[in-house]
Structure 1
Amino acid sequence: MKRRMGFLEASMYAGADTPVNVVFPVQVEGYFEEDDVRYALQKIQQKHPFLRVTVETRADGLPLYVTQESIEPIPYRITARHSDEDWLTEAETEWGTPFNQNNTPLARLVCVRSEQVSELLMVCHHCIGDATSIMSLMRELLECLANPDTILHPYPAFYPEALVPAEMRRNLLNRLAARSIAGITRIFLWCVSGMKAVRKDRFYTIRWKLSEFETAALLSTCKERDINLNAALILVFMRAFERARNVPTSGKMFSSVDMRRFFTEIEKDHLFAFPSMVGLKTPKDNTSFRAQTIAIKESLYKQLAKTNAPKLLFLSEYLVPLYPQAIKYAKAGKGVHDFAFANIGRVPLNETYGSIRVREVYSPFSRFPMGNPSKVSVSTFGGRMDFAFHSEEQYITKQDGERITSTAMALLRKHLLETKPVTIQD
């Protein structure tokens, strides 16, 4: 494979020295040999075509995926585990380390290891995979450690062109629309070309969990009151941002959407980087909590129903030549939303893999040194809901971030939980 990145893929790349990494930490109990891990990683690399590519940049600044027949194995690093906090330091290190080594895959694994308990940190560049992708890599790793005879079936690399129907490409109106969008975008980028990049290098993550009891109570209450959980979570964070005195807000947020739902060619276990967001506005606070969640859910579903993913992909192709200017603007701009929200749902891992027991799972996280870096991630494993709030000190101070998360949880308690949740800070 040697192909130019699509515009959305390139936006996630953002340059060789810019870390746009996805990190997925999992705590496990049990012993495994280093050779077994390396053998499992070899199988995983053979399965996924995007783990055998590197990125080259053309003279015009456009990045290419290039398959390397003699690429290095997926890097595996082991570090000693002295406390329950060590993995946090390693996660920070891995997020901030770019994938810019020659002939090295765009993924790596770190083990923060002790005799009984270890944290496995799967890391990949966002330009080859999203949260679903990296969770699949972790699941495959654990399956291969549990059973070295596990067979992982390779699949062909996808090409954006193949996901767009031929008739859509031939349609004259579609081509005219694409050229018009590209032209307007070119003019806009020229107008803002003088903006200076804003350095974002003081990122932080606030983490907490609900207990099994609190998670069960939350799910039960939502079911009894016919309240959509995803909409409820979005709403409490909308209100929390609205009440943050030191944080300028726009009343808008972006909800992440897994675009695999629109492309049957892409399986759940395939590496795929096609980010998409649905914009939502904070509803007026003059109706009941349930009515507001209904409004959010209806707005979200309405936009999803109108989503034409192949056409979006087609239109974005015409923006590829503008990638260098677009990334320059993204690194200078502040975004038009308050935060991004990703509800991963139940993490697709078993609690045991042979002699290995999965003790704790943390929401996969990524940070964007472009635009607005504020993001809320939610996932569930072992009957416990896990939260993570990501931002950057110059954008939202950690103190204000803690106020936002505390307010959101207080609102969740007020409207959906009868008992006060006990949150666990990392």
Structure 2
Amino acid sequence: MKRKLLFGERMLLGDGTEAFNAVIPFRLRGSFTEKEIQHALNQIQAKHPWLRAIISYDENNIPWFEVPEPTLPIPIRTVNRISEDDWKGESAKEWQTLFNYEEMPLIRFVWIKGEEVSDMLFAFHHCLCDGGSAMAFLYEFLQILDHPSAEIGQENPILGIQDVVPSEILNHKGQKLKAKLIGRLAATAIKCIPVRKKAVEREKDYLIHWKLNEETSRELISYCKSQEVTVNTFLSAAVLHAFKKVRGEAAFNKVSCPVDIRRFAPQIKDDHIFAFGLMIVVSVNDKMSFTENLRWMQETVERKTSKLNPYITMMVMESAHDALKNFTRLLKNGKSSNDCMFSNLGRIQIPHQYKEFTLETIFSPSVIGPLGNTTTMVTSTFRGEMDFSFMGSEGYLPHSQALAIRDEVMKTIKLQLDPIAVL
């Protein structure tokens, strides 16, 4: 089984010399053996062909996902658990470790082994899948780890754009012409945009992690409902406010927010191993108060989201493979135009209590890659607690400023939930 990488996947893959890795850490209370862990990993590989895949190149140097025979198992790296923060250091190590993807799968596993509590990490190349896909195979891994003979089904994998874009759109002459025209115009424009000769020196990467307790998380969700805005909009506003407060004129007043393609393309199932995403950019209006901004931003988000068209977007990108080099150069060497990427995975619907162990927490995923500004904030909610991972690099956002931004985000949350206590 094999398929060509789509434009976005090729962009994330790069040339193999720079890592673009995502990490999902989680904490289990219980005892395990490596044999049990390897069995669970083997079973999720058996369900998902692309978890077995390597990258091969054809005569035109085009990369393909290819499933080799026999199956190459997901490698396990075991380290002794010394402290509760070991997962942060191991996450950072995994960001930097290249995948030998022509000979090994694009996914690996880290077991931070303790006597009663273990932290575990799935690390995978971002070209393989997104956070939604990763949560699906994490859920399946835990099912098998708890019950080795559990049935998790079989994925019918996406084999190309034809499995996502309906044939009546993909083969429509007018739509094909439109996609090709937009692709050519974009390719020409990208080629003409001036960029630096060298990319910004990234310097040291870092991870800042924190949680809201269950009570505060519940109050925040209730507050957002009362304001008729999403938690995503509220947190985007809080992040933008924090960047402005900390960075002043250096702030861009722009946050990029991924939008799950599954909302618009039902062909992509929750358990599909797939990496393509959609994006919108949000800003605040400096002339409005925070609460006024929330409603204005919510309207903006809904308007922009309603205009997203995953099918045409994919067709445009697939018509522009010859522009990949220039597009990658623009992302790497172009001037940064947004403060950060902000992604809210929402409530993680994975059980926490199992027969053989307890899933104490899932830490929000982290990801760092070479395509420009690395500043990223990811949040998720598990067992009622909102969890934040804030990644960055000193060359783009100094660690001291990132800490100050975290503090400002927390101040904004506290101010909106408990104004009397703050004032």
Q: TM-score range by the shorter chain?
A: over 0.9
One-letter code of the match for 1:113?
A: K
Letter matched to residue 237 of structure 1: V
- Mapped to 2, the partners of 1:337 and 1:225 lie a distance apart of 26
Quick check: 1:197–1:329 contact (8 Å CA) kept in 2?
no
Q: After alignment, is 74-83 or 92-101 more displaced?
A: 92-101
Instruction: State whether residues 25 and 119 of structure 1, in contact with CA within 8 Å, keep that contact through their aligned partners in structure 2.
Output: yes
TM-aligned CA distance change 1:394 to 1:273, over 3 Å: same
Partner of residue 74, structure 1: 74
* Superposition TM-score, scaled by structure 2 size: 0.93
- The equivalent residue for 2:205 is 203
Q: Which moved more, 1:180-189 or 1:140-149?
A: 180-189
CA distance in 2, matches of 1:34, 1:384: 30
Query: Secondary structure, in 3 states, of the residue corresponding to 1:236?
Result: helix
Aligned to 1:346: 347
Give the 3 Å change call, closer, same or farther, for CA 168–202 of structure 1 in structure 2: same
Match of 1:163 in 2: 164
Q: What pairs up with 1:27-106 in 2 under 5 angstroms? A: 27-58=27-58, 60-106=60-106
Unmatched 5+ residue regions in structure 2? none
Q: TM-score, normalising length from structure 1? A: 0.92
Q: CA deviation at 1:167?
A: 2.9
Deviations 1:51-74 (CA, angstroms, capped at 9, x unpaired) = 121112456553221221224101
2:152 matched residue in structure 1? 152
Q: What displacement does 1:310 show? A: 1.1
Residue 424 of structure 1 corresponds to: none
Partner of 1:110: 110
- Aligned residue number for residue 11 of structure 1: 11
Q: How far apart, in 1, do the equivalents of 2:87 and 2:51 lie?
A: 24
Number of aligned residues? 420
Letter in structure 1 aligned against 2:314: L
Which amino acid is the alignment partner of residue 391 of structure 2? H
AA of the residue aligned to 2:208: I
Q: Quickly say closer, same or farther: Cα 1:334–1:45, change in 2 above 3 A.
A: farther
Alpha-carbon deviation of 1:247? 6.7
Q: Is the 8 A contact 1:413 1:419 kept in 2?
A: no
Give the Cα–Cα distance (whole angstroms) in 1 for the partners of residues 111 and 287 of structure 2.
47
Q: Which residue of 1 aligns with 2:292?
A: 291
Moved more, 63-72 or 24-33: 63-72
Query: Retained in 1: the 8 A contact 2:49–2:157?
Result: yes
Residue identity over aligned pairs, in percent, reads: 30
After superposition, where does 1:324-339 map in structure 2 within 5 Å? Answer: 324-339=325-340
Q: Give the distance between the partners of 2:360 and 2:249, measured in 1 at CA.
A: 36
Partner of 2:373: 372
**1:106-145 equivalence runs, <5 A:** 106-145=106-145
- How far, CA to CA, are the matches of 2:167 and 2:297 in structure 1? 35
Shift in Å, 1:113: 0.6
Q: Distance in 2 between matches of 1:187 and 1:162?
A: 29
Alpha-carbon distance in structure 1 between the residues aligned to 2:133 and 2:411: 33
Task: Decide whether the 8 Å contact of 1:374 with 1:391 is kept in 2.
Answer: yes
The alignment partner of 2:250 has SS state of coil
1:243 matched to which residue of 2?
A: 245
Q: Distance in 2 between matches of 1:170 and 1:209?
A: 48
Q: Distance in 2 between matches of 1:252 and 1:229?
A: 17
Could you tell me which amino acid in structure 2 is paired with residue 326 of structure 1?
F
SS at match of 2:115: coil
Secondary structure of the corresponding residue to residue 284 of structure 1: coil
In the other structure, the counterpart of 1:231 is 233
> Partner letter of residue 279 of structure 2?
M
User: Does 2:298 match 1:307?
Assistant: no
CA contact (8 A) 1:133 1:268 kept: yes
Instruction: Work out whether residues 333 and 370 of structure 1, in 8 Å CA contact, stay in contact via their aligned partners in 2.
Output: no
- The superposition leaves residues 292-331 of structure 1 with CA deviations (integer Å, 9 ceiling, x where unpaired) of 1111111111122222211111111111222223223322
> What is the DSSP-based 3-state SS (H/G/I as helix, E as strand, rest coil) of the residue aligned with 2:210?
strand
Deviation at 1:173, TM superposition (A): 3.4
Three-state SS of the structure 2 residue aligned to 1:244 is: helix
Number of the residue aligned with 1:24: 24
Return the offset for 1:50. 0.8
Q: 5+ unaligned residues in a row in structure 1: which ranges?
A: 422-426
| Structure 1 CA distance for aligned equivalents of residues 205 and 151 of structure 2 | 39
Structure 1 counterpart SS, 2:373: coil
Q: Is the 8 A contact 1:262 1:309 kept in 2?
A: yes
Deviation at 1:26, TM superposition (A): 0.5
Structure 1 residues 285 and 414, CA gap change in structure 2 (3 angstroms): farther
| 1:403 correspondence with 2:393 | no
Quote the Cα distance in structure 2 between the aligned partners of 1:70 and 1:193. 45
Q: Secondary structure at the match of 1:291?
A: helix
1:185-244 CA-partner distances (Å, limit 9, x unpaired)? 333343347732334252111111111222222223333444432211111111111222
Structure 2: how far apart are the matches of 1:194 and 1:114?
47
Aligned to 2:124, the other structure's residue is in SS state: strand
CA contact (8 A) 1:178 1:318 kept: yes
User: Does the residue aligned with 2:247 lie in a helix, a strand or coil?
Assistant: coil
